Amino acid sequence: MVGAELGLCGSYNSTLADAGARRRAELGPGPTVCMGRRASILLTRRGVALDRSYDAPTSVHGIPQALMGLSQDLLSAHVDKGLGGLEVVSSRFEGVGAHRPVITRLLPVDVPPATTGPVVRYVTRERAAVIAVREQLYVILHELLLDALASEHGARLQATQSAERWLDERAGHLRRFLASARREASTQEVIEIAAGARARRE
């Protein structure tokens, strides 16, 4: 599952954790890895045991570095453990504050049957297939992380705008309250001055 490393993005992580927990229950037992500290915590609270968690990139520049180890680890786990498949639960960006969880199958790769095999030089055909699968895995994960990062920042922007509107409303309420308090204090002061003047005349 690909979630967020940081908070302050509304229900973004909760929505993804719910989708990840549902998909894990549908698939049954198996290894689960999560990218993003906040998402990992929420996924664990929903009863999903994590085999490993990764730090999620917080900017576009951090995506290649995060993917270097992740893509190799996923491919190795798929081969070493003889897994039947590999799916990713992530978020699809649909505009600022609009996102939805999606499930993307990474492995096994669907290879269309070829009538004639391609000519492979310098490496064996099996080695070339492994390299191609690894490159495809990297490209798809890169696209998913870009989409997830856009969704996360969009959700955070919406949460920030909501907080800004709330602060503006509170500031307006406090300004009105202070203005009313000043008017009441001024009125009370005028009443006291008038009462003092009347008492002196009497």
pLDDT tens, 31-82? Answer: 999 999 999 999 999 999 999 999 999 899 999 988 888 888 888 888 888 8
Please list, in sequence order, all residues whose beta carbon lies within 8 angstroms of the beta carbon of residue 31, skipping any fewer than 6 positions away.
Answer: 51, 77, 81, 83
Query: Does residue 70 contact residue 138 with C-beta atoms inside 8 Å?
Result: no
Q: Are 15 and 4 in contact (CB under 8 A)?
A: no
CA–CA distance, 190 with 197 (Å, rounded to integer): 11
CA end-to-end distance (rounded Å), the chain: 85
**Is the model's pLDDT at 113 over the cut of 70?**
no
Please name which of 167, 170, 171 lies closest in space to residue 159, comparing C-alpha atoms.
167
The span from the CA of 142 to the CA of 71, in Å, is 10
Confidence of residue 91 (pLDDT cuts 50, 70, 90): very high
Higher pLDDT, residue 89 or 111 = 89
| pLDDT band of 145, cuts 50, 70, 90 | very high
Quick one: average pLDDT of 146-174?
91
pLDDT level of residue 84 (50, 70, 90 thresholds): confident
Average pLDDT, whole number, for the chain? 87
What is the band of 190 on the pLDDT scale with cuts at 50, 70, 90? confident
* pLDDT over 70 at 106, yes or no: yes
What band does 120 get if pLDDT is binned at 50, 70 and 90? low
Give the whole-angstrom CA distance, residue 9 versus residue 19: 17
87 three-state secondary structure: strand
